[in-house]
Structure formats: structure tokens, C-alpha cells
Amino acid sequence: MILGRVTGQIWSSRKLDTMPSAALLEVKTDAGAVIITLDTIGCAVGEKVLVTTGSVAAAQFPDIRAPIDALIIASIDEE
Amino acid sequence: MILGRVTGQIWSSRKLDTMPSAALLEVKTDAGAVIITLDTIGCAVGEKVLVTTGSVAAAQFPDIRAPIDALIIASIDEE
Amino acid sequence: MILGRVTGQIWSSRKLDTMPSAALLEVKTDAGAVIITLDTIGCAVGEKVLVTTGSVAAAQFPDIRAPIDALIIASIDEE
Amino acid sequence: MILGRVTGQIWSSRKLDTMPSAALLEVKTDAGAVIITLDTIGCAVGEKVLVTTGSVAAAQFPDIRAPIDALIIASIDEE
Amino acid sequence: MILGRVTGQIWSSRKLDTMPSAALLEVKTDAGAVIITLDTIGCAVGEKVLVTTGSVAAAQFPDIRAPIDALIIASIDEE
């Protein structure tokens, strides 16, 4: 998994019907890459998060065949 | 997922029978890479899009076993 | 998917029994990487091709559990 | 698979219910990247480990649909 | 798939029970990366090999749910 920080949110009015209705958050990874992730746990901008990628992200939504390849799976505790 | 912008389209007269008949669009990602994606929502050159990659792209076409690893899943709202 | 050009072929006399009997072609991607792909549509050196990667490549061979992660899915029309 | 060394641990108080309860370890790969991996064999900081990535990591937890894409599968013997 | 050359072997006394008992070989890819692959065809150091990555590697071991993401699938003929 990859560590990163939430840097923003994106919106779309035209998308596949199979997209879950959760927020699409922009995450800047610790390595400097920017990825768009689905967020189902309610993260805010600035929050440190753990992201899983690939088909395991979609597998969290077996009933709707979600076309997502990146999902926030945890908010990281920071001292 | 990855953000990018549609930069063109490619055509093929000789391909696998399992290829969906949708357009094959060239997308330049925000990180500068160029990938070819399938487009089923009708995007135009210049449009900002969200792309999913890997087996979740193919999983949107369960009946035809589509050999695709990149799919446009949303057109992004721009102010 | 990735665009590339066929640059050669490789041969192997010792391989897994689950390997399909199709040609193994060397493809140089537009980004400069070299990958080995399976070719079932009969491409020649110099031809521009579209390559899919990952488990969707193997999924085209459901009966033999092919251990391939890259497959040429189309020959690209060039003007 | 990738070789790396355990460099730390992360904690999360807010995460998906499908996360296994095992430790989340930070691993620095031999190539210099930092990834977060699940550890079910009890590795310590400084230990050399072998990490598998992608859906095969999650497939080790078929009953809980674990959203993980990196798993320590072995501790490496060092002379 | 990726071409590389076998450069060594690694051993582990503590690993997941689902690991196949085949050798774990270090392979340096033609692009210069080092990966650890499972070898079921008996390759030696110095041999040129073809490696498949991702879940298709694990799919060769359906009965044991092997946690591997890289497998040598062929030894390459060299003139």
C-alpha cells in the first residue's frame, strides 16, 4: 500500500453508472505522485491516508462491479 | 485512478475479436505519460478524464472478455 | 493499453507447458521500454501494435491458464 | 517479488472493517522505494523480507476480502 | 513479460505456508531492475529467462493459493 496526503477532490457529472457514489479524492503520495482515490471513510484535505491499488480496490464493491483501482483503506494516526 | 486529457484517437483494422467496438482514445496523463484507453462515454479531444487501469477495466465487459487494461470512467468537471 | 513497435522475436526450447504456442515478440513501447508480448494476430517486425498488460492478457486463454501478462490486441493503422 | 528491509510500523484508528488485524509495516525496498505491507509472520524493524504485491496479497485472505496489495511472504536468511 | 538474467538465489527459513517449495531466484532485468522470481523449470545463474508478473504468476498454482507475483516461464535460447 502507499502512504499519501489528501490534497483535493474532483467532481464529475458524466461517468459510468457503475461508479460508487463516494468522494473522489486527490492524494499526493509520499513519493510525489498524484493519484485519484475513492474514499468511503470520510477523509479531509490534509489527512494522511493509506491507499490500496489495483483490483483489490474494486473487490470491496462486489455487487456493483465498481471500476476503481485506488481506494483509501485507512486514515493514519499522526502524533 | 489517473487524471489526463484526451489527445487523439487511434484506429485498427486488424484486432482481436474480443475488442469492444468503442473508441480507442489517446490520453496524456497529468504526469506526462501517454496511454491508450477505451472510451464508452463519448469523450472529445481536449476533455479532462479519469482513467482506471488493470483488470477492473476489463471487468466492465464481463460478457465478452474484453482484453483492455485502461478505461475512461468519468469526464471531469472543470470550472 | 500501450503503443509500441515490434522489434524482434524470441524463442525458447524450455518453457512451461501452459505457454500458448503463439509467437513471443519483442515490442519497444513509445516510451522506450522493451517488453515481450504474445502475438496471436500475426504481426511483423516494424509493425505498430497495441499491447494490453496484466491478467487481462491471460484471460484471453481461459482453457489453458496461460502464464502471460502482455498480449498484442491490435495492429494500428498508419497513414 | 521485491526484497526490502522493515523500517517501521504505522497505526490507524479509522480504517475499513475488512482490514486484517495484522501489523502494517513500512518496508524500504532495495530499489529505494517505501511501501506499506501487511505482516502476518511477525517481522521486526531491520529484518530483511520478501514482499508480494497486487491481488495475490489479498488472495491470502479469501474469507474477509482484505483490501491489501502488499504482503510480507518470507523473512530472508542472511549470513 | 520481461527478459532478464538469473543472478542469484535467496533462502528463507520463515515464510508463509502457502509458498511453493520451488527455488526463489534473483533476476536482473534487461532494464536494470532486480526482482525475485519463483523458478519451477530449473534455471541456473547466468541463464537468460522470461518472467511473467502479477496474478497470472500465482494462477499457475491454483490448488495452493501461492502468494507469488513473479514466475520464470521460459529459458531463452541464445545463439
Instruction: With a cut of 90, say whether residue B18 has pLDDT above it.
Output: yes
Q: Is A57 helix (H, G, I), strand (E, B) or coil?
A: helix
The pLDDT of residue D66 is 96
CB contact (8 A) between residue B69 and residue C1: yes
Please tell me the total count of domains within chain B.
Answer: 1
**B70 compared with E79, residue with greater pLDDT:** B70
Give the pLDDT mean for B37-48.
98
Instruction: With a cut of 90, say whether residue B79 has pLDDT above it.
Output: no
The pLDDT of residue B43 is 98
* Neighboring chains of B (3 or more beta-carbon pairs < 8 A): A, C
Amino acid (one-letter) located at A45: V
Q: C16 lies in a domain?
A: no
Strands B48-53 and D23-29: unpaired
Q: Residues of B near C (CB-CB distance < 8 A)?
A: 10-16, 18-19, 24, 33-37, 54-55, 57-58, 65-70
C-alpha cell at E48: 537468460
- Looking at this predicted complex, what is its ipTM? 0.96
**Residue E69 banded pLDDT, cuts 50, 70, 90:** very high
Q: What is the pLDDT along chain A (79 residues), one digit of tens a residue?
A: 999 999 999 999 999 999 999 999 999 999 999 999 999 999 999 999 999 999 999 999 988 899 999 999 999 999 7
By Cβ distance, the residue of B33, B34, B55 closest to C54 is B55
The pLDDT of residue C51 is 98
What does the mean pLDDT of chain E come to?
96
The pLDDT of residue A79 is 74
**Residue E64 banded pLDDT, cuts 50, 70, 90:** confident
Chain C hits for E40, Cβ within 8 Å: 16
Chain D hits for A35, Cβ within 8 Å: none
**Residue B42 banded pLDDT, cuts 50, 70, 90:** very high
Q: What is the number of alpha carbons within 13 Å of residue C21 lying toward its C-beta? A: 0
DSSP class of D76: P
Which residue in this structure is represented by grid cell 472493517? Answer: D17
Q: Is E14 helix (H, G, I), strand (E, B) or coil?
A: strand
Chain B hits for A12, Cβ within 8 Å: 50, 74-77
* Cα C41 off chain centre by: 10
What does the mean pLDDT of chain D come to?
96
By Cβ distance, the residue of E30, E60, E75 closest to C12 is E75
We report the CATH number of the domain holding residue C57 as: 2.40.50.220
Phi, then psi, of E34 in degrees rounded to 5: -115, 125
pLDDT in tens, B23-32: 999 999 999 9
Q: C17 lies in a domain?
A: no
C-alpha cell at E46: 547466468
Chain D hits for A3, Cβ within 8 Å: 10, 34, 36
Domain with C26, as residue range(s), is 2-11+22-75
- Can you tell me the distance from the alpha carbon of B41 to that of B14, in angstroms, rounded to the nearest whole number? 24
Strands A2-10 and A23-29: antiparallel
Nearest to B47 by CA among B22, B28, B24, B75: B75
pLDDT in tens, A57-68: 999 998 889 999
The β-bridge partners of C2 are C51
CB contact (8 A) between residue B74 and residue A37: no
**Residue C14 banded pLDDT, cuts 50, 70, 90:** very high
The pLDDT of residue D63 is 86
- Can you tell me the distance from the alpha carbon of E67 to that of E52, in angstroms, rounded to the nearest whole number? 14
pLDDT in tens, C16-70: 999 999 999 999 999 999 999 999 999 999 999 999 999 999 999 988 899 999 9
Q: Residue C58's closest chain E neighbor by CA? A: E56
Q: C57 lies in a domain?
A: yes
Low-confidence residues in chain D, pLDDT < 70: none
Which residues 6+ apart lie within 8 Å of C13 measured at CB? E75, E77
- Residue E64 to residues B38, C36, E31, E59, E60, Cα–Cα distance (Å): 35, 28, 32, 10, 10
Q: Are A19 and B61 in contact (CB under 8 A)?
A: no
Which residues 6+ apart lie within 8 Å of D79 measured at CB? none
C-alpha cell at C66: 496461460
Chain A hits for D14, Cβ within 8 Å: 41, 74-75
- Residue C1 to residues B53, B67, C49, Cα–Cα distance (Å): 9, 9, 10
C-alpha cell at A67: 471500476
Amino acid (one-letter) located at E56: V
Give the pLDDT mean for E3-9.
98
The pLDDT of residue C53 is 98
pLDDT in tens, E34-58: 999 999 999 999 999 999 999 999 9
Q: Are A41 and A56 in contact (CB under 8 A)?
A: no
The pLDDT of residue E62 is 87
